[in-house]
Amino acid sequence: MDACITGIGWALKDSMGYPTRVHKFVPEKGLPHIKRKIKRKDVIDQSYKPFGRMDAFSKQGFAAISFALNDAGIKKGATNKAVNMVASTATGCLETDIRYWKTVADNVPSPAAFAYTLDSCFLGEAGIYFGLTGESFVINEENTNGLTGLYFAIEMIHSGDSDAVLCGICNSDIKFAQPAALKIIPGSLFFVIEKDPDQSYGRVTAVSPEIIYDENKIEITDLYDFAKKIAAKKK
């Protein structure tokens, strides 16, 4: 099975955007907080009240999706494409879940926090704002290399279930201890996958959820490393 990468977008601690539009964050003492750095006007042109209310997990996921769609040339409300979405995560929205339950313990449950206590909330927000139709789901992927999501994306394109698929990784900046082996990168990275576009970053071929090759038949082991490599091509 194969398909093409037509868009890349990310929202990380040091930068956000897509290959032809990168916004670098000014270094601060310590690592910058993702939520404080991501502003609506830097992500979308039109006013969208839910964006300001989103938790950090949802905001960074929504931003990366927006950038990936822009890079692929898929504009808001200007496409008839059926677009599926699949996200991989190790942390999910656990920070928000904990914050919400603290408000419950204080007998003042927060509706704002409760609204984002599902890992898939930002996919729904992106679907609403950009007018995307198609399936969406989140994979709990402990190693967070994103390969399972990429495999499903290629499979959906190959089967004809979707004209385009957004797939990627989204992780919270969890403050408490985590197993060192997980190597969680706080932030979000998304790709747009399509079948036979006019332009692309190249074709990827999936043999199994664990074995995926790029167009040069080099095995892909991590989506972040793969993004760095192909983003240099600038399409």
**Residue pLDDT, tens place only, 2-13:** 888 999 999 988
Residue 171 near residue 185 (C-beta atoms within 8 A): yes
Predicted local distance difference test score (pLDDT) of residue 114:
64
Return the residue matching tokens 């972040």.
224
**pTM: predicted TM-score of the whole model, two decimal places:** 0.89
Token pair of 79 as six digits: 């496409």
Residue 149 near residue 87 (C-beta atoms within 8 A): yes
Q: pLDDT digit string (tens) for 118-152?
A: 888 899 999 989 988 888 899 987 777 888 999 99
Q: pLDDT digit string (tens) for 52-68?
A: 888 888 999 999 999 99
Residue 188 near residue 171 (C-beta atoms within 8 A): yes
Rg (CA), the chain: 17
Residues contacting 20, CB < 8 A, separation 6+:
71, 234
Query: d(Cα 120, Cα 143) in Å, to the nearest integer?
Result: 19
Q: Nearest to residue 235, comparing CAs of 205, 204, 206, 198?
A: 198
Per domain, the residue ranges of the chain are 2-231
Token pair of 62 as six digits: 């929504």
Query: d(Cα 225, Cα 214) in Å, to the nearest integer?
Result: 12
Predicted local distance difference test score (pLDDT) of residue 23:
84
Lowest mean pLDDT across 125-129, 192-196, 207-211: 207-211
Mean pLDDT across the chain: 82
Residue 8 near residue 227 (C-beta atoms within 8 A): yes
Query: d(Cα 125, Cα 49) in Å, to the nearest integer?
Result: 11
More confident residue, 152 or 37: 152
- Scanning 42-93, the segments in alpha helix (DSSP H) are 49-53, 56-72
Predicted local distance difference test score (pLDDT) of residue 227:
92
Token pair of 94 as six digits: 């656990």
Lowest mean pLDDT across 98-102, 105-109, 214-218: 105-109
Question: pLDDT band at residue 31, thresholds of 50, 70 and 90?
Answer: very low
Q: pLDDT digit string (tens) for 160-187?
A: 778 899 999 999 887 655 555 567 888 9
Options 3.30.470.160, 3.40.950.10, 2.60.40.1180, 3.40.47.10; CATH of 2-231? 3.40.47.10
